Structure 1
Amino acid sequence: MHGCDLLVVGSANADLVTAVERRPAAGETVLGSDLAVHPGGKGANQAVAAARLGARAALLARVGDDAHGRLLLDSLRDAGVDTGPVLTGGTPTGVALITVDPSGDNSIVVSPGANARLTPADVRAAREVLASAAVVSLQLEIPLETVAEVVRTVGPGTRVVLNPSPPADLPAHVLAACDPLVVNEHEARFLLGGPPDAGPEPGATPGPGPYEEWARALLGRGPRSVVVTLGAAGALVCGPGGTSLVPSPAVRAVDTTGAGDAFTGALAWRLGVGDGLEAAVRFAVRVGAAAVTRTGAQASFPTAEEVDRL
């Protein structure tokens, strides 16, 4: 019996969000809306998304002993996340600077703060927590050596889900542990040797086309399975048995901030309670679709009842 369905090891940030008519070009200044401060960070987002759906979720992260850290801890606890593994103090809480355009697309700059101080030693100290989890979910807003230490530390019965965001070259033993590796089109291109900012034209709805080739190529790099998220088109699932496209319900996107985290948190939770990969992805695409219909990151994450209604 696992102590929790899902342990997320990752970042916790305060999201500083402003809406703009268009994102600025190099050297350009544009005016934005009043600044809003929300709890965020890919790790905290995934944990909150899963807990709000009903998961027994915990978070291993670092925050500062400051107002942003207290905001994050309050949000995590309100959602039902076990914050026992969260470490506090030593440096300011991480901050994400987010601009959102009228289509709901966003651009994000992250100042890591305390996230950069989550160390391999912290992981080793949390060995019992790691061993008790059915699934461990990881991202790359914490040091890569810390991610690698998690992979070395988890028990043989624990499944590893990794979203390599922001993208970085991954050690072979980390790739080999991923089941699945969850990427969007930019992360997929980076891992396959292309520029991370290439991809479909803005506003375009991607289809399975080249993404099937990308998914199979990524699978050949070592992960046990691959999921490529395709925004409004859903997600592509790729494993040893082949590939399949899971469509997303049509919704009006208001703000895509945190939608990928909602998807990954939901996916990891459903794997932790025994769903197969395609069934977990079918649930997760509905969670991601629900999340884009509201503003903010954690504030937009749906409950299980809201997902059912969608």
Structure 2
Amino acid sequence: MNKIEKIARTYSDLQKKICNTLESADGKGKFSSDQWEKEIGGGTTAIFQNGNIIEKGAVNFSFVKGKYSPEMKKILGENAQHYAATGISSIIHPQNPWMPIIHMNVRYFALDNGISWFGGGIDLTPHIIEPEDAISFHHLLKETCDRFDTRFYQDYKQWADDYYFLPHRNETRGVGGIFFDRLKPGSSEEFEKLFEFTKSLSLLYPDIYVGYMKKNGHRSYSESEKEWQLLRRGRYVEFNLVHDRGTKFGLESGGNTESILASLPANASWKYNYSPEPGGFEENTLGLLKKGIDWIHFNSKPT
């Protein structure tokens, strides 16, 4: 078994663990699995719909190989003839507007010229930002990063701030998280460290969300809060369709379209030139959709 086959088998197993954890916490919905195969390879699309807490979720695994096209060269900037890639990509859209959207991706990409790398991350997109939740989220990410390298959190947090950003809106997608790409192992020890790092993030991901499910999964909400949730989902759609590299690469490589677009919410809305009421939860949330917020040392209480 070569490296990428080993990684693919591990990621496939992790997909099942993530699904089991989320199903158990929701208590109603179940993931339905769709096995897909194409000329380039295959995978499993696990879709969750209409649960007690989760409205729509996806935990996708894929392992694909193919010819390295000129379009891929433009995206990746590497010279090669063939590629192989495997990964997990997951997103959860909740019923309750006080629950956040969460996204996780880990992947390994290898070219036939000997170049390979890991990528991935976790980010959080609350519809209504409660600073204490953003603070705890970033602390959990930092603790995980620090087990592997104390430079990881700050470097990858900055990367996430820059990546998960809508320049046409001048706002971040949410409260960020960590994002990394092109981490090229220079030795077998470095390979194992980065592989273990992606595995740890995969296991942390459902545990983070279960905490939010327990806290806010059944919280009461108003019609205006639900309306705001749909507007914030619209921003999420804009990012995924306009800026997300994974979406672009997946469609360009001939991957499974339904799996690639499973990240989109079941419902979203757009209002022309919407302006929230001053001083409300909408305006407070918009005020925190900025790059560079130090959530580790953020003071959530007025002094």
Instruction: Give TM-score, length-normalised by structure 2.
Output: 0.30
More helix, by proportion: 2
Q: Work out which of the two has the higher radius of gyration on C-alpha atoms and give 1 or 2.
A: 2
Q: Structure 1 length as normaliser, TM-score?
A: 0.30
